[in-house]
Structure 1
């Protein structure tokens, strides 16, 4: 099985990294183009630094991305970072001291907050934002796959 990606796991032609995969916006502003070159029209501009994005294709120095709402297009790779972030998908999502529903609540995050992604178990992820860090249920986040495990 060496050299073969997991069943159903596509690899990018440029980077040989898994597709789709999550990244974040490195820049505070980034043009989203209709195609993978500077000659393609700008459809809109992402204006949120650290926003999680999903890469769905690669072409040269360009990555086709989509956001939480499915909006996307082609972005130059220099505008993207491998640093992982997630979007909070539930208003007033409670942050726990440990990965357990019974653990002490340390904070609550509003819907749409961007948080840095740390380690993830089968059901929980450690995140940090606004000086707070702790554990939240993985299914309440956008920017991490259900099967993803992180140390």
Structure 2
């Protein structure tokens, strides 16, 4: 009786593993390795851009991005498809041809107050203007503490922790 129980447990374990492997392969959701590390930030190159529930055109469209240049975080990939999320947490699969390596950011979407754009990368640098939360900017460079950003004809420095689109401590 004890031997049958062990054999039954082994058989159930093997079947469960086979089913999990088969479902991951057929849905295209198996993990892939790449020379470019995950997660990483990119921006939306073109719009409108469909965000799908799975990695392929056979999957339904869950969301449509309408504004090029928004920052997106890639956290999974499958073939030419990238699983991304935006600062609101909206996530799904998008074809990599719709993404750009140009970096952009959003000013502190979690903030209740405005964020200073400064002339120098220091807290005592003169304030050029104040950004409201969720304003989109282009990232020019980051030193791990401050990022040089641009919006239209203005440019200056924003504390890196006040941006969604650059990791804390990341150097660009």
What are the Cα deviations for residues 105-143 of structure 1, in whole angstroms up to 9, with x where unaligned?
112212111100111123111100121100011111001
Aligned counterpart for 1:135 among listed residues 140, 154, 157:
157
Matched-pair contact (CA < 8 Å) for 1:14–1:59: no
Q: Which residue of 2 aligns with 1:72?
A: 91
Shift of 1:15: 4.3
> Where does structure 2 lack aligned partners over 5 or more consecutive residues?
1-30
TM-score normalised to structure 1 length = 0.87
Distance 1:144 1:83 in 2: 12
Shift of 1:14: 6.3
Distance 1:99 1:69 in 2: 28
TM-score normalised to structure 2 length = 0.77
> Where does structure 1 lack aligned partners over 5 or more consecutive residues?
1-11
Q: Which has the higher contact order (CA 8 A, sep 6+)?
A: 1
Aligned counterpart for 1:49 among listed residues 64, 68, 71:
68
Matched-pair contact (CA < 8 Å) for 1:23–1:84: yes
Q: Would you say how many aligned residue pairs link Structure 1 and Structure 2?
A: 139
RMSD, aligned CA: 1.4
Distance 1:94 1:132 in 2: 13
Structure with bigger gyration radius = 2
Q: Which residue of 1 aligns with 2:24?
A: none
- More helix per residue: 1 or 2? 2
2:39 pairs with 1:20? yes
- More strand per residue: 1 or 2? 1
2:53 pairs with 1:34? yes
2:145 pairs with 1:126? no
Distance 2:100 2:34 in 1: 14
